[in-house]
Amino acid sequence: MAANLFYEPSTRTNLSFQTAMYRLGGSVIGFSDPGSSSVAKGESLKDTIAMMSNYADAIVIRNPMEGSAKAASLYSRVPVINAGDGGHLHPTQTLADLTTIRKHTGAIKGLNIGLCGDLMNGRTVHSLIKALTGFPDIRFYFISPRELKIPDYIRLYLEKNNQKYIEITSLEATIDNLDVLYMTRIQRERFGTESEYNNHKHAYILTKSKLSGARSSLLIMHPLPRVDEISVDVDDDPRALYFAQARYGMFMRMALMKTILKNPPREPERVDIGGAECKNPRCICKTEKYLPSLVYENNGARFCEFCDKLICV
Ligand code: NCD
């Protein structure tokens, strides 16, 4: 039995986890509208998780605050799966993405991978970059508006791992070099104002004509939902894999659930050093005040364990 706790809208991820569980012969409880649960009465994340982990064998959580899944894991008796924590990470989408690349290239190595769109707020991109950095000879092309470049903690991660990357603003100038093009949506819900969003909303639109010089083996991917960043005339191109990608995601989630339910949950590590305050207003520690201040060090700098933002140098 899984508990799917979706505090943010979702179609694919929630239904994909549900389908995976039902296909394995299991069942699912939970909510997709926190307004219909005790969250609306002001229940803390800690209490909701403590309760749900009495009922279910695993918890799948999506929440708009960065670090929320990590926070939930501190209070859960059962494994917690991050189904998207704000603009931070989305690791199970990455497993779907890796499955897609692996299946269509044979091996994940020596690839030119272009990630295009809102690289600042797109959580799928952050998780995918971290995972791909572990594979040999990957070259990243980060294609985004200047204001929506990859966040600093991802930059530091790449540098620490000697991972090569190029940052550019033009999709057209890059597309012909790519083995994989991973398009993403401008993340409307992460902008402070509608006008900031409007400045970027049509930043990149992949059309059939832009693909004229692209490799015949190009993989065109997108975590979905798309708004207008891939025009519908691309859908019939044999290189367009985004709907297949969602299907691989379901099989991968079946495998993930089976693996997790077979292995007993591990006690989470806690390093409560106190006195180090995370300044990120989108961090879960800002709304769930009882959380310990968990910090890790990297190259002499300290980062928040929940949201990965720099705390101090
Ligand atoms: C993504 C997400 O929620 O981060 N969707 C998904 O889970 N497949 C991408 C997005 O919303 O743009």
Rounded to the nearest angstrom, the distance between the alpha carbon of 77 and the centre of ligand 1 is 27
Rounded to the nearest angstrom, the distance between the alpha carbon of 279 and the centre of ligand 1 is 25
* DSSP 8-state code for residue 8: S
Residue nearest to atom 1 of ligand 1 (CA): 223
DSSP alpha helix (H) spans, 38-90: 45-55, 68-73
* Dihedral of alpha carbons 125, 256, 296, 50, sign: positive
pLDDT of residue 275: 63
Rounded to the nearest angstrom, the distance between the alpha carbon of 220 and the centre of ligand 1 is 16
Residues forming beta bridges with residue 294, ordered by sequence position: 272
pLDDT of residue 225: 95
Any residues with Cβ below 6 Å from ligand 1, and which?
12-13, 84, 90, 93, 123-124, 184-185, 223-225
pLDDT of residue 267: 64
Cβ atoms within 10 A of the Cβ of 31, count?
A: 18
Per-residue model confidence as pLDDT tens for the chain (313 residues): 999 999 998 989 999 999 999 999 999 999 998 888 888 889 999 999 999 999 999 999 999 999 999 999 999 999 999 999 999 999 999 999 999 999 999 999 999 999 999 999 999 999 999 999 989 999 999 999 999 999 999 999 999 999 999 999 999 999 999 999 999 999 999 999 999 999 999 999 999 999 999 999 999 999 999 999 999 999 999 999 999 999 999 999 999 999 999 985 566 566 666 667 899 999 999 999 999 989 888 878 888 999 999 987 5
Question: Which tokens sit at 206?
Answer: 């992949």
pLDDT of residue 300: 81
3-state secondary structure of 157: helix
Rounded to the nearest angstrom, the distance between the alpha carbon of 97 and the centre of ligand 1 is 12
| pTM of the shown model | 0.95
Q: How far apart are CA 127 and CA 11, in angstroms?
A: 19
In one-letter notation, the amino acid at residue 140 is: F
201-220: burial string, b at 16+ Cβ within 10 Å, e else: bebbebeeebbeebbeebbb
Measured CA to CA in angstroms, residue 92 lies from 53, 62, 124, 219 at distances of 20, 11, 9, 19
pLDDT of residue 270: 62
Q: How far apart are CA 152 and CA 43, in angstroms?
A: 33
Q: How far apart are CA 14 and CA 268, in angstroms?
A: 25
pLDDT of residue 264: 59
pLDDT of residue 142: 98
